Amino acid sequence: MITIISATNRLNSNSLKIAKNYAQLMEKQGVESKVFSLESLPVDFTATDLYNKRSENFQQLLNEYIVPANKFVFIVPEYNGSFPGILKTFIDAIHPDINRGKKVALVGVSTGRAGNLRGLEDLTGILHYLGFHILPNKQPISSVLTLLNEDGTLKDENTIKVLEKQIADFVKM
């Protein structure tokens, strides 16, 4: 199973729009996936689910999206020159043994011009430390607002092509 993670808890984020588009592109290639948005985290997540304390809601999310997955796609927005703190907190709340050896593809999202390359590198270091295998073909999506239609679908053919290539590479991994 592949889980696509929209790596922010911000409501109606561009990351979630890209995650949904990514899932549709995967489906076109015959690949099943589930989209998980960090906006689904329990409201009291940081108070109750860190340091091996588990709320029932958080455990349900882990059981549905994290534990059964053998691959993850992280759609990572740029926050303050890196990635969102909620993503790091989410990673910290999961015992490393659950995901060691799993495979990851990374997509950066920004309204600026760098596509969150710095954030992807920061996240890569953390994921390597935790024993994930990272697809070298990381995709930065820059100026995301110019690439989406009003309904949130990707309209830029070049972006669609590079994401399709990443998906094909990831499936082979």
pLDDT, tens digit only, all 173 positions of the chain: 999 999 999 999 999 999 999 999 999 999 999 999 999 998 877 776 676 677 889 899 999 999 999 999 999 999 999 999 999 999 999 989 999 999 999 999 999 988 999 999 999 999 999 999 999 999 999 999 999 999 999 999 999 999 999 999 999 99
pTM given for the model: 0.95
Domain total of the chain? 1
DSSP helix/strand/coil, 76: strand
**Which CATH number is 88's domain given?**
3.40.50.360
Structure tokens at 164: 């399709």
- At 52 the pLDDT is 62
Tell me which residue range forms the domain holding 146. Answer: 2-172
- At 49 the pLDDT is 62
* HSE of 19, CA atoms in CB hemisphere, 13 A: 25
Nearest to 19 by CA among 154, 117, 113: 154
DSSP assigned state of 169 = H
- At 51 the pLDDT is 67
Q: Give the integer Cα–Cα distance in Å for 63 and 162.
A: 31
Q: Give the integer Cα–Cα distance in Å for 16 and 9.
A: 10
Query: In the beta sheet, which residues pair with residue 107?
Result: 75, 139
Q: Give the integer Cα–Cα distance in Å for 159 and 109.
A: 12
Q: Give the integer Cα–Cα distance in Å for 11 and 80.
A: 18
- At 53 the pLDDT is 73
Burial profile 103-136: b = 16 or more Cβ within 10 angstroms, e = fewer: bbbbbbbbeeeebbebbbebbbeebeebebebbe
H or E segment to which residue 47 belongs = helix 45-48
- At 11 the pLDDT is 94
Query: In the beta sheet, which residues pair with residue 171?
Result: none
Beta carbons of 137 and 169 less than 8 angstroms apart: yes
